[in-house]
Amino acid sequence: MYKDLVQAAKILSELIGGRKIDTLFDRFLKEENNKNFIKDIVYGSIRDFYLNDYILKKFVKRDINDHLIKYLLMNTIYQITHQSKAEFTVVNEAVKAAKKINNNFYNLVNAVLRNFLREKDKLITPDEMDIRYSYPQWWVSDLMKEYPNDYEAILAIGNTRATTVIRINQRQISVNDYIDLLEQANIDYELTLEDKYIQISNVKDITMLPGYEKGYFYVQDPAAQLACDFIDIQNGMNILDLCSAPGGKATHILERFDVNLDCYDISKERINLIRSNMKRLQLKSNIIDKIDINKRYDRILIDAPCSGSGVVRRNVDIKLMRKQQDIEKFSNQQLQLLEEGWKILKSGGKLLYVTCSIFKHENENVVMKFLSKNKDAASQDLKIPIGFKYQNTQLIPNQFHDGLYFKVFSKN
């Protein structure tokens, strides 16, 4: 176990330094490592980062000048508070890891963790929301202003494990027939949100679900599945998915409608994800490497790059990676994408703007700027289905769905 603890500390240290978590897993997880064990520790430590740092400072009064030792201690605090392993074993393995990292600190690690074991039941959870739920202070402040009745629930849901909801590819199999396959395979599932969505319980590997290779399903949160309904698609239309990767919304459109769909994404690497998903689901689109400014579309979907603040439970590392100044950067980029899409939308056409953010600066503020600059644009009301929690057209993240924002514009 101690070798895994060393790797987990290295990954957390590099993540704090600004590296991407998936790249770090690829770099540090070796054949001899228990990969699921390490990922659980790293993700858990990120969820509780500010809280565990607060706890650690109760037991270490001066800065630890070896960052790997500090992150080893924070990871071990997570293990003790959240994992079911015997506490003395966890401490002993952490001490072994400390010797491997820096032999000068193993006595400190041993003393701190044993003190924590003695005192942990007496520790009082701090009142400060940023520490209690482990978010940047600016993030918490913005949520408190924008969602005075829901901010604490939003913070809490971001610290839970994301659910796995699948969308059935009805060009390949009916919903009822796929449910029969789940039951035959003894796979636990639940129908949620008015029984319209299939949530899989305790799934470890989605490729092991029935019909994965045959393209029977696609993993997609219920919130993301709403996009297809909001854009008012009809067969035969020319449609552009402007920020398409990995292709979740594009494949949903093609499952339901016979249209001419162009898929574009600025990331050449992520375009391969679109191709892969289209192939598995047995669907066909036009994957383009540049936008034809002379072509006009009936419908345009812009699932814009954003802070990801509405999908924290799926990308927990953004709690540490995201900076306040990023929000302004994203909002400028989002407005630019809207302007670019608007130029190639037909008169009478519709454009759907989507983000997975819950910050108004990326949503309502961007919309108001866009409408003020484009007098031929009109925003439309959207009807959010029963069961979804929302404020205007902003979905509030909860246990059943993510926190996406939607706005439809029609071109006069």
Bridge partners of 303? Answer: 354
Quote the pLDDT of residue 11: 95
Query: Binding site: what residues are annotated?
Result: 243-249, 265, 289, 303
For 204-226, letters b (16+ CB in 10 Å) and e give eeeeebbbbeebbbbebbbbbbb
Confidence band (pLDDT; 50, 70, 90) for 409?
very high
Which residue shows structure tokens 């899989």?
200
Q: How many CA atoms lie within 13 A of 403 on its CB side?
A: 29
pLDDT in tens, 3-45: 999 999 999 999 998 888 989 999 999 888 889 999 999 999 9
pLDDT at 84 exceeding the cut of 80? no
What would the two tokens of residue 92 be?
């002993």
Confidence band (pLDDT; 50, 70, 90) for 143?
very high
- 245 and 393 share one domain: yes
The helix-helix angle for 67-82 and 87-101 (nearest 10°) equals 170
Answer whether residue 127 is part of any domain: no
CA distance 192 to 370: 35
- 384 and 260 share one domain: yes
Answer whether residue 276 is part of any domain: yes
All residues at 6 or more sequence positions from 70 whose CB lies less than 8 Å from its CB, including other chains: 56, 64
Query: Binding site for S-adenosyl-L-methionine: what residues are annotated?
Result: 243-249, 265, 289, 303
From 94, 122, 150, the end of a domain falls on: 122
Quote the pLDDT of residue 324: 96
- 118 and 237 share one domain: no
- 106 and 249 share one domain: no
Confidence band (pLDDT; 50, 70, 90) for 135?
very high
Answer whether residue 213 is part of any domain: no
Average pLDDT of span 331-347? 98
pLDDT in tens, 154-183: 999 999 999 999 999 999 999 999 999 999
Confidence band (pLDDT; 50, 70, 90) for 301?
very high
Q: Catalytic residue positions?
A: 356
pLDDT at 362 exceeding the cut of 90? yes
What would the two tokens of residue 141 be?
């402040």
CA torsion sign, 10 to 11 to 15 to 18? positive
pLDDT in tens, 229-261: 999 999 999 999 999 999 999 999 999 999 999
Average pLDDT of span 362-378? 97
pLDDT at 322 exceeding the cut of 80? yes
CA distance 153 to 142: 14
- 114 and 254 share one domain: no
- 106 and 248 share one domain: no
Quote the pLDDT of residue 219: 98
Residue 353 DSSP SS3 = strand
pLDDT at 83 exceeding the cut of 90? no
Average pLDDT of span 46-70? 93
Quote the pLDDT of residue 87: 87
Quote the pLDDT of residue 38: 93
Indicate the pTM of the whole model: 0.93
Quote the pLDDT of residue 45: 95
Answer whether residue 202 is part of any domain: no
Answer whether residue 200 is part of any domain: no
Task: Name the nearest CA neighbour of 25 among 35, 16, 17, 34.
Answer: 35
Backbone conformation region of residue 47, classed left if phi is above 0, alpha if psi is from -120 to 50, else beta = alpha
- 112 and 227 share one domain: no
- 108 and 236 share one domain: no
What would the two tokens of residue 235 be?
């067969």
- 242 and 115 share one domain: no
CA distance 94 to 88: 10
CATH number at residue 362: 3.40.50.150
pLDDT in tens, 253-276: 999 999 999 999 998 889 999 999
CA distance 82 to 95: 19
Instruction: Determine what percent of the chain is predicted with pLDDT higher than 70.
Output: 100
What would the two tokens of residue 305 be?
């790059």
CATH number at residue 39: 1.10.940.10
Confidence band (pLDDT; 50, 70, 90) for 364?
very high
Task: Name the nearest CA neighbour of 409 among 359, 357, 335, 356.
Answer: 335
- 104 and 240 share one domain: no
Answer whether residue 349 is part of any domain: yes
Average pLDDT of span 139-152? 97
Q: Which domain holds residue 104?
A: 2-122
Answer whether residue 265 is part of any domain: yes
pLDDT at 220 exceeding the cut of 90? yes
Quote the pLDDT of residue 339: 98
Quote the pLDDT of residue 50: 95
Quote the pLDDT of residue 305: 96
Distances (CA, A) of 312 to 41, 131, 162, 319, 397: 17, 16, 9, 7, 9
Is there a contact between 304 and 264 (Cβ–Cβ < 8 Å)?
A: no
Task: Name the nearest CA neighbour of 327 among 304, 303, 352, 351.
Answer: 304
Quote the pLDDT of residue 67: 93
Average pLDDT of span 104-111? 92
Q: Which segment of 31-35, 54-58, 390-394 scores lowest on mean pLDDT?
A: 31-35
From 88, 104, 122, the end of a domain falls on: 122
Answer whether residue 150 is part of any domain: no
Q: What is the largest CA-CA distance in the chain?
A: 72
Alpha-helical regions (H) of 29-121: 35-47, 49-59, 67-82, 87-101, 106-119
From 64, 96, 122, the end of a domain falls on: 122
Which residue shows structure tokens 């079911």?
84
- 239 and 116 share one domain: no
In the chain, the number of structural domains is 2
Task: Name the nearest CA neighbour of 390 among 369, 411, 363, 372.
Answer: 363
